[in-house]
Amino acid sequence: MAHLGCAVWKCGAAGLVAILAFAPLGAKAQSEANFSWDELDRRLPSSSRVEALGPTLMGDEVSLSDGGLAFSVVDVSIPGNNALPVELRRRYCVKDRKDTINDGTLADWQIDAPNISGVFAPDWINTGEQPGRRCSAATLPRLPIRHQRSDFWQGLTLNVPGGGEMLRRAVNAPSPANGASYPWNSSGQIQVACLAAIPNGDGEGFIALAPDGTKYRFDWMAQNSDRRVRQVVGYSPNTGSPYSTYLNRRHNALYATRVEDRFGNAVEYTYANAWNQPARLTRIASSDGRGLNINLHRQFRQFPQRRRTHLAVHHRRNLQNPDPGPIA
């Protein structure tokens, strides 16, 4: 019986030792739990790594087609649950600005949001019986009197990642098999279809479909000034001085009001300008709860002639499960 009692004591001692052995491990595990700020290196890895900045380290971009120099700067960017950007980006194109009115969204800077643009004389109106069919008919712009179309027309540009010059699709060229008609495409194989109307003007808009499934809805018109073109049309018989006519050119753009990825996530852009005014972006909102509210105030001083633009951006980040509606 004593032997049995010894055996029981030994088992109890073994259990006690086991308890004492495991108890500190649990306490140690709890004491070594990380605080949220201990894992900032996971959220901000770029702050702890040195990487090559690449050829655009100062925001500069050189066009391989015409050699043009531009600068692109992101002022505010909010990360979220999807890859669609919610950011305020602006762009400056280096060019001769003599006799040019700096009436861009941010004076001589432009809001760099997805758009389809071109230079017209002065409005985006096509030839033919239905001048508003800028997508489906795709005729050339109207030709002003005493000028050539090459004085202003350089085609349409799709300003999105993978965009570039827009081209009319060949009759036998392959297209997405989703039942839609795509009369346009780009060098990056982005397919472009037509919208029947736009909310702030006359004529058609565009819908673009990227190879990764991203859709862009271009249906908000905006304009800003471009340099005038002078054309000599004759000479004075008395003094020999030339008679000239001037062509007013304007940069026309259809901005995207909605961008949607193939998973149904979406970002919407809200504008407040008339069709013949510079783009005035007021809000960017994502289906996952991110948002930017933009307040723009312009001030013009006559002496010296200078245009000041004050920009205030308010942002919010309240991530949630997306519940977007699809682009028609």
Given this model, what pLDDT does residue 317 score? Answer: 61
Helix (H) or strand (E) holding 4: helix 2-31
Nearest to 89 by CA among 287, 323, 284: 284
Instruction: Tell me the three-class secondary structure of 7-31, residue by residue.
Output: HHHHHHHHHHHHHHHHHHHHHHHHH
Contact 292, 86 (CB under 8 A): yes
Name the residue type at position 150: S
| Long-range contacts from 83-92, C-beta under 8 angstroms, 24+ separation | 83/261, 84/214, 84/259, 84/261, 84/265, 84/266, 84/267, 84/286, 85/267, 86/267, 86/284, 86/285, 86/286, 86/290, 86/291, 86/292, 87/284, 87/292, 88/281, 88/284, 88/292, 88/294, 88/313, 89/113
What is the spatial distance between Cα 59 and Cα 172, in angstroms, rounded to a whole number?
A: 40
142 CA to centre of own chain: 29
pLDDT by 10s per residue, the chain, length 328: 444 444 433 444 444 344 334 444 444 445 577 777 777 777 676 666 777 777 777 778 887 767 788 898 899 999 998 999 999 999 988 887 777 777 777 878 888 999 999 999 889 987 666 788 999 987 788 878 788 888 888 899 999 998 989 998 887 877 788 878 899 999 888 999 999 999 999 999 999 999 999 999 999 999 998 888 887 778 888 888 888 888 888 999 999 999 999 999 999 999 999 999 999 999 999 999 999 999 877 654 444 445 555 556 666 666 554 444 555 5
Query: Beta strand pairing status for 250-260 and 229-235?
Result: unpaired
Q: What are phi and psi of 68, to 5 degrees?
A: -70, 145
Structure tokens at 90: 């602006």
Q: Are 278 and 296 in contact (CB under 8 A)?
A: no
The pLDDT of residue 8: 39
Residue 271's DSSP bridge partners are: 281
42, 56, 81 from 92: Cα distances, Å:
34, 14, 30
Q: Which amino acid is at 184?
A: W
Which residues are within 8 A (CB) of 168 and not within 5 positions of it... i.e. 6 or more apart?
Answer: 138, 183, 184
